Amino acid sequence: MHPRRMLLIAAASASAGGCATSVSRESREQLVAQVRAAEVGFALTMARRDLDAFGSHLADDAVFINGGKPLRGKPAVVAFWKRFFSEPTAPFSWKPEIVEVASNGSLGYTEGPVASPTGVVSHRFFTTWQRSGDRWLVIFDNGYSLCKS
């Protein structure tokens, strides 16, 4: 075998082996903990009255369903939600009760209650998270009133 060809085969084998060992798979529990932490951090933006931090949790192409009238893209979502950050006290809070992740680790789901400042639960939220590098970003969000009409 030609020495140059052997060198190429050896280099290809070494780089393939390096790729195989550099892949690290996080456990389902680790991914769930990451998504839960992302949701808790997202909710804290409301409590802390920080609209910029709220926006930092959104994917650029996020869609908030908004009562059947979708808000498409981070700028539209932030512009609409600005009204909820205008007063010194948060008009509502939320927390995750259900947290799940897709088996490939690229999508997460959170669901939970939305409560008034006095603790009365009036809505339920549903959020889909997308992994972007080492961060989780909101890609879809929706919520429903629990009040009877």
Query: DSSP character for 102?
Result: -
Residue 148 has pLDDT above 80, yes or no: no
N-term to C-term CA, the chain: 81
- 40 DSSP assignment: H
The domain spanning residue 33 has which CATH number? 3.10.450.50
Phi, psi of 128 (to 5 degrees): -105, 130
The single-letter DSSP state of residue 10 is: H
Looking at the domain assignment, is residue 7 inside a domain?
A: no
> Which pLDDT value is given to residue 124?
97
Query: How many other CB atoms sit within 10 Å of the CB of residue 131?
Result: 20
In a domain, 3, yes or no: no
State the pLDDT at residue 136. Answer: 98
For residue 5, is it within any domain?
Answer: no
Task: Assess whether pLDDT exceeds 90 at residue 25.
Answer: no
pLDDT in tens, 45-104: 999 999 999 999 999 999 999 888 999 999 999 999 999 999 999 999 999 999 999 999
Q: How far is CA 110 from CA 18, 46, 122, 133, in A?
A: 36, 17, 17, 19
| pLDDT attached to residue 2 | 54
Domain membership of residue 139 (yes or no) is yes
- Asked whether residue 2 is domain-assigned, the answer is no
- Provide the residue range defining the domain that includes 97: 27-145
Give CA–CA dist 99/76, Å, rounded. 26
- Residues 6 or more apart in contact with residue 140 via CB below 8 angstroms: 62, 63, 64, 65, 127, 128
Q: Which two tokens stand for residue 107?
A: 């999508």
The whole model's pTM is what?
0.81
**39-52 tens-digit pLDDT:** 999 999 999 999 99
Residue type, 111: E
Number of domains in the chain: 1
- Assign 147 a pLDDT band (cuts: 50, 70, 90): confident
Q: What is the C-alpha to C-alpha distance for residues 28 and 107, in angstroms, rounded to an integer?
A: 12
